[in-house]
Amino acid sequence: AVKNRDTIVTVHKVHAAARLLAASAPVTADASSTIFIRLCVYLCRAYKDIIYICPFAGALKGKVFITNYRLYFRSNDVDPSVILDVPLSTIGRVEKMGGASSRGENSYGLDITCKDMRNLRFALKQEGHSRRDIFELLFRYAFPVSHGLQLFAFLSQEKYEENGWNIYEPVDEYRRQGLPNDKWRITFINEKYELCDTYPTKLVVPYKASDEDLRRVATFRSRSRIPVLSWIHRENQAVIVRCSQPLVGMSGKRNKDDERYLDVIREANGTPKLTIYDARPNVNAVANKATGGGYEGDDAYQNAELVFLDIHNIHVMRESLRKLKDIVYPNVEEAHWLSSLESTHWLEHIKLVLSGAIQVADKVSSGSSVVVHCSDGWDRTAQLTSLAMLMLDSHYRTLRGFQVLLEKEWISFGHKFTSFPTAFEFNERLLVVILDHLYSCRFGTFLFNCESVRDANALRSKTVSLWSMINADSSSYVNPFYTVESSRVLYPVASMRHLELWVMYYIRWNPRIRQQSQSPMEQRYRELLALRDQYVKKLEELQMSEDPSSPHLTNNSTPSATSPRQRITHLHTPF
């Protein structure tokens, strides 16, 4: 038997629950491993005769299983069964619906608000205190830290051939970019997180700037997040530098060390005028002066040009996303869809971020170095730097390169697309999986706010990396249309006329959308990959069979010295 406090579930019930959960549980790539359900995932309780108020199919009776990782529902009165599989960490709020005196069908139960655009409603019987039990279990395991429990990622026993924690090694990534060089160096001043507790241990800074210079600059930047290099252009040596706002304040304070430091960045590749992209609207940047922040004024930074990108803060973004959720779930109102979407302002925010990233990429591509920041330099700043680097560097558009980009610009430096059909090695499914596991708490990849806290909690040794799972099944995330183009810079069109809502994420829970688009697209991906591999194999067999006696070769002709595999790399299928 499996025991959890006062709840004892017999073995045959555990097995029955395991069979149900196995239908949706991911399978590890390691052949010696069992499915994901192990001792780390244990059944807390099973409930029958629960009614799920499905927004698409009406009231459905079925069974609910709650483990310390997920809520799982399977209907038993329709065929095919309706299944819900919700990692508990995806739950944002649990509320009781109705009371003991409630009358009316399905008026008593639970409302569950999820972080993945879903709202779930369950109706229960009023007798037997079943709602109280479910509420307490969900509340306990959906918010484990509040109840003195470990996050699930620390309990997971998943095993993979590759350790995903090794996908990003800062020094290796900087070497790939051609660093260090005679203008830029790698410093270990933050090795113990003493300079900045939200920055990584390894930073790239101007060669002319000493560690003591860095300490003085840190006193004038919010949260001590000094300007450091994110990316360098191999040909023109222009750089993308990220940081936080200067601490100018209402009195207009200046810091000669900070001013000189930005000038050293400008001089590194001979940029005539350093462009500083402030992600905020101008009025917000001015308002930040009241709390000690501010921006780089022309009088102090005479060799710099300041550009405001008008991207709103996280509070405005959250409100916009809330409005978007209201119009996409549970149902989409076709008659007023365009006006409803416009009222959320979501695509306007996307357009501003995309437009800002294009400006950054274009400036660097033309040979000018840039500095990017917002207030604290980890929300809008990371959006702009990572998107610009996606446009500039084709390595980040590969499956592994994209993982490095997320680890580097978002995870390592701390944090509180539109398609191009042949430019990215990975497909849409990868983005959805990453977003889902941002909340699932199954992996340690996105836990905590910065590298210092992750190190303090020993994430690399105590949890599994998301990249371990993804790279164990990399073919599922490959774009069959991908074409390698090492030097191409992408310039998407940041126009409202060309932007579309990401339907396969925001409206994916609507069964009509799933039936029409999701499954056929994934199936088509797999078919194209299989067909490509088939053609490559046939070509390789033909090339291997060539010899001097072949009737297709004349007496004066000789076979190419290029190996079959080398020649295959030039093959382009018609897909």
Q: What is d(CA 381, CA 245) in angstroms, rounded to the nearest whole number?
A: 11
Q: What is d(CA 100, CA 94) in angstroms, rounded to the nearest whole number?
A: 18
Crossing angle of helices 519-544 and 428-440, rounded to 10°: 120
Q: How far is CA 313 from CA 56, 248, 346, in A?
A: 35, 20, 13
Can you say which residues are annotated as belonging to the binding site?
313-314, 374-380
Q: What is d(CA 538, CA 547) in angstroms, rounded to the nearest whole number?
A: 17
Q: What is d(CA 210, CA 219) in angstroms, rounded to the nearest whole number?
A: 15
Partners of 293 in beta bridges: none
Burial class for 488, CB neighbours closer than 10 Å (0-12, 13-18, 19+): middle
Of 250, 310, 248, 241, the closest CA to residue 276 belongs to: 241
Q: What is d(CA 524, CA 536) in angstroms, rounded to the nearest whole number?
A: 18
> Which tokens go with 260?
């000189």
Start-end of H helices in 500-554: 503-506, 511-513, 519-544
Crossing angle of helices 211-218 and 256-267, rounded to 10°: 120
Burial class for 146, CB neighbours closer than 10 Å (0-12, 13-18, 19+): exposed
Helices H, strands E: what count in the chain?
A: 19, 16
Can you say which residues are annotated as belonging to the binding site for substrate?
313-314, 374-380
> Which tokens go with 278?
């402030």
Active-site annotation holder among 44, 196, 243, 374: 374
Q: Is 374 an annotated catalytic residue?
A: yes
Burial class for 145, CB neighbours closer than 10 Å (0-12, 13-18, 19+): exposed
Looking at residue 221, the DSSP 8-state letter turns out to be B
Q: What is d(CA 240, CA 238) in angstroms, rounded to the nearest whole number?
A: 7
Q: What is d(CA 482, CA 439) in angstroms, rounded to the nearest whole number?
A: 29
Q: What is d(CA 362, CA 383) in angstroms, rounded to the nearest whole number?
A: 16
Looking at residue 535, the DSSP 8-state letter turns out to be H
Coil/strand/helix, residue 453: helix
Burial 421-437 (b: 16+ CB within 10 A, else e): ebbbbbbbbbbbbbebb
Cβ distance 247 to 222 under 8 Å? yes
For the annotated catalytic residues, the residue numbers are 374
